[in-house]
Structure 1
Amino acid sequence: MSVAEPRRIVLFRHAKADWPQVNDHERPLAERGRRDAPVAGRKLADSGVPFDLALCSTATRTRETWKLAVAELAERPKTVYEERIYEASPGELIALLNETQDDVRNAVLIGHNPGVQALTEILAPESGGDARERLNRRGFPTAAFAVLTFSGPWKSLEPGTATLVDYWAPSE
């Protein structure tokens, strides 16, 4: 693929987690999360974005979210479980995305708030339209995702270089 063709990044927050007596990294999905994750997966499938790569936090709730969501996709992308996503700042997430190989056109990052929402705001601060209105109204609840586009190699992804083209959140 040419680096001039638009790339897509989906920033996907894990589904609703439970609060058992375990450390934060090991928190599993709650019943609502187990319901919402496949719905989010179907919405991702409906978007028609063929993912080449999934970068998923190693936290239990993100791994469970991705397992349920990816089952709804026509094709499973290469999945990399990346510990650097857990508790990452937007800058750390950008640095991680900058490492992506240029043969990857579309990637999904399954992570946590506040990092996922902040990364959306930082990468696409000027994007308007319906997707922005829905994001501003709903925030970034669990199982929500934002679809951003940008042009150029992954190493050129930086604040302000992307456009928010879609946003989805489950109804509560």
Structure 2
Amino acid sequence: MSVAESRRIVLFRHAKADWPQVTDHERPLAERGRKDAAEAGLRLADTAIPFDLALCSTSTRTRETWKLAVQGFEHRPKTVYEERVYEASPGELIAVLNETPDDVRNAVLIGHNPGIQGLADILGGASEGDARDRMSRRGFPAAAFAVLSFTGPWKSLEPGVATLVDYWAPSE
């Protein structure tokens, strides 16, 4: 694969978590979160993006979100559980993505706010259709995702180089 080919990155916020008496890292999904994670997975499958890689935070709620979402996929991508995604800033998330091997064309990053929303905001220098308007109106609620495209190697991913091509959030 040429590094000049178009790549897609989906930034996927974990679904709604419960608040039991556990550490933040160990919080599970709430009932609504389980429903929304499965619906988000179907919506991701509808994009027909052939994901090569999923980078997922190690938190319980992100792992549960991904496990439910990927059930709707025809092809399950390789999944890497990455500790650095938990509580990461947009800059830290870019650093993780910059390490992605160039044979990966399409990746999904399952993480947390405010990092995921911040990353969607700063990567997308341009947008298609009404994707940015929809994202601006809704914010980045639990189980939302943004689809961005860019050209070049993963190490060139930086603020403003991508195009926001789609955005989805569960109904309220």
- Supply the RMSD in Å over aligned alpha carbons: 0.8
Map 1:95-114 to 2 at 5 A: 95-114=95-114
Count of residues paired in the alignment: 172
Residue identity matched to 1:141: P
What is aligned with 2:62? 62
Map 1:7-156 to 2 at 5 A: 7-127=7-127, 129-156=129-156
Q: Aligned-pair distance for 1:5?
A: 1.3
Runs of 4+ in 1 over 4 A off after TM superposition: none
Q: Aligned-pair distance for 1:128?
A: 5.5
SS in 2 for 1:129: coil
Q: Aligned-pair distance for 1:3?
A: 1.3
Alignment of 1:158 with 2:155, yes or no, is no
SS in 2 for 1:9: strand
| CA–CA distance in structure 1, aligned partners of residues 75 and 128 of structure 2 | 31
Structure 2 unaligned residues grouped into runs of 5+: none
Residue identity matched to 2:4: A
Q: Give the TM-score normalised by the residue count of structure 1.
A: 0.98
Q: Aligned-pair distance for 1:101?
A: 0.2
Q: Aligned-pair distance for 1:129?
A: 3.0
Residue identity matched to 2:141: P
Cα displacement string for residues 107-142 of structure 1 (whole angstroms, at most 9, x for unaligned residues): 000000000000001101443531111101100000
| CA–CA distance in structure 1, aligned partners of residues 31 and 70 of structure 2 | 18
SS in 2 for 1:160: coil
Structure 1 unaligned residues grouped into runs of 5+: none
Identity %: 80
Residue identity matched to 2:42: R
